[in-house]
Structure 1
Amino acid sequence: MADRMHPHQVQVHPSTRYEGGGMKTLLPHRGPSTGQILAIVALVPVGGTLLGLAGLTLLGTIIGLCVATPVFLLFSPVLVPAAITVALAVTGFLTSGAFGLTGLSSLSWIVNYFKQGRSTMEQLDYTKRRIQERVADATATVGQKTKDAGQAIQSTAQQGKESARATT
Structure 2
Amino acid sequence: MADRPHQLQVHPQRGQFEGGVKNQRGGGPSATKVIAVLAALPVGGALLALAGLTFIGSLIGLAVTIPLFLIFSPVLVPAAIAVGLAITGFLSSGALGLTGLSSLSWVLNYLRRASQSLPHEMDQAKRRMQDMAAFVGQKTKEVGQEIQSKAQEGRRT
TM-score, normalization by structure 1? 0.35
Structure with the greater alpha carbon radius of gyration: 2
Higher relative CO (CA 8 A, sep ≥ 6), structure 1 or 2? 1
TM-score, normalization by structure 2? 0.37
